[in-house]
Amino acid sequence: MAGNLKIINDPIYGFIQLPSELVFRLIEHPFFQRLRRIKQLGMTHLVYPGAHHTRFHHALGAMHLMGEAIEVLRSKGHEITKEEAEAVTIAILLHDIGHGPFSHALEDSIVKGVRHEELSSLFMDRLNAEFNGELSLAISIFRNEYPKRFLQQLVSSQLDMDRMDYLNRDSFFTGVSEGVISFDRILKMLQVRNDQLVIEEKGIYSIEKFIVARRLMYWQVYLHKTVVSAECLLTGILKRAKEIARNDSSLFATPPLKVFLMEDYSKADFISKAELLDEFAGLDDSDIAVAIKVWAVHSDVVLSDLCNRLINRKLFKIHLRKTPFSEIEMSAIKDEIQHNFKLDSKDLSYYFLQGALVNNAYSTQSDSIGILLKSGEIQDITEAADTLNLKVLSEPVMKYFCCFPKV
């Protein structure tokens, strides 16, 4: 493929060149093509209508940024072999391959206890077998088993290419300008010291903005209260469908969706039963969407009502605040809901949901962002920054919510 490298036109970065034939073959694989059919932001389009971009877009964007980062580090005298460059590029390209449709709702309902990161690792193992071991180095970097630790930090850390792309991309497609970051400036300021990824002191303000943007994007996009309400509704739909399917196998579902509605599976099951990963690879947004349309006319009143609410955006009302809801408050709301909607006690859990949201823009505990001072000393960004804001942003913020139908 040398001399005839494929290019892709990306709305964020312009023309992206695929760096090798192996990368092209991985992108062509059905496992990766499935990401075209999975929205990056799940239910967020119900708040921001433009948020229909996919995990396919994001993976390609992160791959592009990885190529830029490699060139910057090489130009500063850090040895990254051709094999290492290809491997770390593959690691970031495949980092989200284990995501299912509406990933968070899926992990809370029909694929419980199996995180998408674990599924990504299993997909990589399967691809490595199909590609005769060509992904071994990429897998070693992805799992943080490779001696050059800074390569893994480019894939997964508080300064990785994943975060850098999704902030840029999600900001662009939602229209939320607070998420815009100086990604090109940050990349130019990358440096390695003691096998750790750091930022040169000149880039400190770009990093400050990066952390602030992350905090704002979480409250305005990822944890937007209407998005949380929609995800709660979808989780309830999938749980109800699973409950019905266990007693009535005739419930409509596409073949891969039915597999996960009928049984609970653990990570060990995915490892021991190769066909399970194939079934999961058959799941995408369309399986969930078509099922919800069919279930909207199902004889089960709860299932059909929840589906119609989601289809027509008649979402649950959501209360969000900094202090937990008391048992007395929740009991009063539950009694009112049960009375107004004539609900049985066993069905109440589908109409009253509560939980907590955590926004942690930056953590000083793991993989902190180091600033390389002109003196050669490395300081944590919260110490090196000349504003107090970053110390505040390093503290997690928790908000509590409860959602229920409007009376």
Q: Average pLDDT of the chain? A: 94
The pLDDT of 59-84, averaged and rounded, is 98
Give the pLDDT band (50/70/90) at residue 156: very high
Q: Candidates 1.10.238.10, 2.60.120.10, 1.10.3210.10, 3.40.50.720; correct CATH number of 7-223? A: 1.10.3210.10
The pLDDT assigned to 1 comes to 46
Asked if the model's pLDDT at residue 103 lies above 70, the reply is yes
Asked if the model's pLDDT at residue 3 lies above 60, the reply is no
The pLDDT assigned to 304 comes to 98
- More reliable by pLDDT, 407 or 289: 289
The residues that bridge with 402 in the sheet, in sequence order, are 319, 354
Asked if the model's pLDDT at residue 227 lies above 80, the reply is yes
The pLDDT assigned to 395 comes to 85
The pLDDT assigned to 364 comes to 80
| CA 229 – CA 318 distance, rounded (Å) | 6
The pLDDT assigned to 132 comes to 97
Which segments of 222-294 are extended strands (E)? none
Q: Taking the CB of residue 72, how many other CB atoms lie within 10 A of it?
A: 16
The pLDDT assigned to 388 comes to 55
- Which of 79, 39, 80, 74 minimizes the C-alpha distance to 56? 39
The pLDDT assigned to 157 comes to 95
Give the pLDDT band (50/70/90) at residue 406: confident
Strand order in the sheet with 353-359: 317-321, 397-404, 353-359
For the stretch 344-396, pLDDT in tens is: 989 999 999 999 999 988 888 777 899 999 999 999 998 888 765 677 778 88
Enter the tokens of residue 311. 């289809």
Asked if the model's pLDDT at residue 191 lies above 60, the reply is yes
Q: For 39, which DSSP code?
A: B
**Of the listed ranges 2-6, 82-86, 94-98, 236-240, the one predicted with least confidence:** 2-6
For the stretch 277-317, pLDDT in tens is: 999 999 999 999 999 999 999 999 999 999 999 999 999 99
Q: Give whole-number Cα distances, 200 to 70, 369, 376, 381, in Å.
A: 16, 11, 10, 11
- List, in sequence order, the alpha helices (H) in 76-192: 82-93, 103-107, 116-130, 136-142, 149-155, 161-174, 183-188
Give the pLDDT band (50/70/90) at residue 92: very high
Do 293 and 376 meet the contact criterion of CB atoms below 8 Å apart?
Answer: no
Strands 317-321 and 370-372: unpaired
The pLDDT assigned to 104 comes to 79
The pLDDT of 163-176, averaged and rounded, is 97
Enter the tokens of residue 95. 């980092």
For the stretch 114-144, pLDDT in tens is: 899 999 999 999 999 999 999 999 999 999 9
For the stretch 269-278, pLDDT in tens is: 999 999 999 9
The pLDDT assigned to 363 comes to 85
The pLDDT of 209-225, averaged and rounded, is 94
The pLDDT of 154-159, averaged and rounded, is 95
The pLDDT of 194-214, averaged and rounded, is 94
3-state secondary structure of 382: helix
Angle between helices 204-217 and 161-174 in degrees, nearest 10: 60
The pLDDT assigned to 4 comes to 66
The pLDDT assigned to 366 comes to 75
What is this structure's pTM? 0.94
Give the pLDDT band (50/70/90) at residue 163: very high
Domain boundaries, the chain: 7-223
Asked if the model's pLDDT at residue 2 lies above 60, the reply is no
Asked if the model's pLDDT at residue 47 lies above 90, the reply is yes
Asked if the model's pLDDT at residue 185 lies above 50, the reply is yes
- Amino acid at residue number 251: L
| CA 371 – CA 379 distance, rounded (Å) | 5
Enter the tokens of residue 369. 């962002």
- Cα torsion 271, 273, 277, 278 to 10°: value is 150
